[in-house]
Amino acid sequence: MLNGIGGKTILEAKRNLTPAEFHSWVTFFNQYGSINTNRRLEYGFAMIAMQINNAMGGNKTMRDYMPHYQSEETNLTFEQAMEAWK
């Protein structure tokens, strides 16, 4: 599982995570995004690239430098997450 949350396998996570804990993780992911280290690095490098571009007269956004960006439309509600979890 992702960073060992709930267990090492999906089956362990489904067995170990309580609905309350699962809800708190869904809320965390929707508020702060992925905890994937590579995505966090991508965000930081995109911010630097955008600032350099803007300083040189460009008008790019951070999304232009983030090939793995997911829009806010991909956020799940708790109910959607629980349905997918079954």
Summarize pLDDT for 6-55 with one digit per residue, the tens.
667 777 877 888 888 888 888 888 887 777 788 889 889 999 999 999 99
- Predicted model pTM: 0.51
More confidently predicted of 76 and 61: 61
Q: What is the pLDDT of residue 73?
A: 55
More confidently predicted of 4 and 62: 62
20, 27, 33, 45, 59 from 24: Cα distances, Å: 6, 5, 13, 28, 37
Its domain, for residue 35, covers 2-85
pLDDT tier, 76 (very low <50, low <70, confident <90, very high otherwise): low
How many domains are contained in the chain? 1
